Amino acid sequence: MLSKDRSLEDSGLRYLPNLNQEKKNTSPNQEIFPLTATVNQQDHLEVGGCDIEVLIEQFGSPLYVLDESTLRTACRAYKESFEKYYSGESLVIFASKAWSCTTICTIINSEGLGFDVVSGGELFTTLKAGVTPEKIYFHGNNKSVEELEYAVESGCKIIVDNWLELENLTKITQNSNNKPVEILLRLTPGIECHTHEYIQTGHIDSKFGFDPTQIEEVFKFVSQQKGLSCIGLHAHIGSQIFELQPHLDLPEVLAKWLLTAKEYGLPIKTINVGGGLGIRYIESDDPPSIEEWVRTVATSVETACKKHGLELPQLIAEPGRSLIGSACVTAYQVGGSKIVPGIRNYISVNGGMSDNPRPITYESLYSCVVANKMSEPCTEKITVAGKHCESGDVVIKDATLPKTEPNDILVVAATGAYNYSMASNYNRIGRPAAVLVNQGEANLFIERETYQNLLERDRIPERLVNSVN
């Protein structure tokens, strides 16, 4: 929100409606910028009480700026909404693939949420942040034997995706004297939603989960394994979803599977409906609120269970993007510019696809502002290009901005999900630093990678060294 004494026209943010208004009971996923965003007396963008220009001076750029208040607000919105709308036990777990690091895990753990991990590295990170294994759920469609052994040893729950995993887990646990390993079975529900094809995971033609035609065979096999205890079923329909109808359909599918599982004596007490709630990246995006999404999921689960005479299971949801996406912005510095007469005007920034690969991967859209010129009128249509040696390295096409100059600060909003976690060292560029801001305090929680960091794992075979000498 911009400060109350600044009008929308003065702010130059005509394409970001309501950003200057006081927000009450706002759902973070419906806001483009963090909830604490304001314009200060220097005409600079502030987040978490910290001037973005000052942060750049202190920590350099590009820079991820994570607002702790917005992240905690989203966590509480999910948790409180489930407590309000679901009569049974519930648990919200963070899909940590959105951004896995110890600081973020620590914050989310302190809010009472659990964690969804999809690799040994994410499991290691979450455990190092002090999360108890009982609150960790290990996903993934191709877990290695080593990862499965690590998961079993750690005591986390394992969401089994396919037959090979079942067979490997059976071998790992068959001679164990420990209590059975708790697993959930991931099943493909056959529900499609309107989102990018790469992030649709619930339709039949998906790499994730057991096919519905295999369900009874899977239930029968699992019921015969003494080392495994099937406590739940999992289904996920996709990501960045604005529709509610698929979430109304999913519980009915899960309820029928629960009835089938009972026939095989499986001690199922949990269903995991995944996540997938979208966030607002640009003005035209209109996602449901966190509360609205939770109400839809919770009431539809209760309705389906009542219809089929089932006791209410523990209900788990695993949001990622909608917890952290809107809590972060990325700040760049403007470099050169180029005018292609009659076609396009470009400015370049000192980052791009190495710190945000989503535009080139998914054609994702973002919003931006010039953080040191917040009240200047937006008079130019500009394409913001990254610095990488790829023609497709474009951060935002046709952004409406004020006139820019070298060293101006361009801030891209809603970069908390899948930006740092998908970042790379393409063109041998180090990944940016990240700072946590809250009530005027800024704390570095990820250091900027240096040139030396880029070489730390390089090795030159001795025979090559000798040949040079």
**DSSP 8-state code for residue 389:** S
* HSE-CB for 210 with a 13 A CA cutoff: 24
Q: Are 371 and 387 in contact (CB under 8 A)?
A: no
> Scanning the structure block, which residue is given the tokens 């079923």?
233
Task: Please measure the distance between the N-terminal and C-terminal CA atoms of the chain and give it in whole angstroms.
Answer: 62
Name the token pair of 223: 């019921």
What burial class does residue 285 get, using C-beta atoms within 10 Å of its C-beta: 0-12 exposed, 13-18 middle, 19+ buried?
middle
Please tell me the distance from the alpha carbon of residue 93 to that of residue 159, in angstroms, as a whole number. Answer: 13
As beta bridge partners, residue 349 has 334
Angle (CA) 442-446-451 rounded to 5° is: 125
Q: Does 389 participate in catalysis according to the annotation? A: yes
Distance of CA 333 to the CA centre of its chain: 25
Angstrom distance (rounded) from CA 10 to CA 377: 7
Residues 6+ apart with CB under 8 A from 398: 344, 381, 382, 383
Distance of CA 338 to the CA centre of its chain: 34
Structure tokens at 138: 């290990």
Long-range contacts of 158-163 (CB under 8 A, 24+ apart): 158/182, 158/183, 158/184, 159/183, 159/184, 159/185, 159/186, 159/234, 159/272, 160/184, 160/185, 160/186, 161/186, 161/208, 161/209, 161/210, 162/209, 162/210, 163/210, 163/218
Kindly state the tokens that stand for 148. 């499965």
Contact between residue 79 and residue 467 where contact means Cβ atoms under 8 Å apart: no
Strands (E), 173-269: 181-186, 228-234
Check 156, 193, 305, 389 and give the catalytic one: 389
Q: Give residue 366's identity as a one-letter amino acid code.
A: Y
CA distance 292 to 30: 12
* Active site members: 389
